[in-house]
Amino acid sequence: MGCAQTPLTQCGLPPELGRRWTVQMRVRAELGRLSSAWVQSPAFVPERDTTLGPPRVNSVSATPESLLISVSPPFPPEHGDSLQFLVSYWENSTGPAAKVRALGLFPGLGSGATRAGYIIALFLVAFLGLNLMVAALLFVWKHHQKIKFWAQPPLQIPSHYEEFLKDPGLEELPSPAEEEPLALGPPQ
């Protein structure tokens, strides 16, 4: 990179690296035959450690109910960039009555082609989801008898009841209708 044995206190990195990388430098001072120990620099990540300039304002249109601001990043966006803008505005006043209003964070969606790609992908996912739901409903409608058969419990009497009912030596249990009614009243 052309940064070895340079008298400069800075080093330019080639633009071919892009913005998605991490650099960690190993540096030392040299004076003639004397040199210091090597020191490792903290990791530098451009997306995290770089302060960007303000976005370019492409257009502003205002109505009594809304404010539409079109902005672009101060650099050409790369595929996969996720940008957010905080837009603040205030009344054009010099007195203390001016109020700052923040419109919030708005993710930058990139170019129109990127937005169109998101819309097409969203449409395809919704279309596939709808088709899967229709296919599942048709499957259930066509095979509802089989599904009902598989889902119901077996119609068998449990073995301990079956054994009780097969024993002929057991006397019949009296039914509640055959019992004498109890008279309710004062004890005698």
Q: What is the pLDDT of residue 38?
A: 92
With tokens 């309710």, the residue in question is 184
Bridge partner residues of 105 (DSSP): 86
Phi, psi of 173 (to 5 degrees): -80, 135
Residue 105: per-residue pLDDT: 46
Q: In this structure, what are the phi and psi dihedrals at residue 84, rounded to the nearest 5 degrees?
A: -130, 140
Q: Where are the domains of the chain?
A: 15-49, 56-110, 111-154
Q: What pLDDT sits at residue 139? A: 95
The C-alpha atoms of residue 75 and residue 115 are separated, in whole angstroms, by: 18
Residue 42 CA to chain centroid, in angstroms? 31
∠ CA 75-77-83, nearest 5°, is 95
> Given this model, what pLDDT does residue 117 score?
80
Structure tokens at 188: 């005698």
Residue type (1 letter), 54: P
pLDDT of residue 173: 62
pLDDT tens per residue across all 188 residues of the chain: 667 778 888 877 777 776 678 888 888 888 888 999 999 989 888 778 877 778 888 888 888 777 778 877 777 777 767 677 777 776 766 665 555 555 544 444 444 556 778 889 999 999 999 999 999 999 999 998 898 888 887 778 878 878 777 776 666 666 666 666 666 666 66
Contact (Cβ atoms closer than 8 angstroms) between residue 55 and residue 74: yes
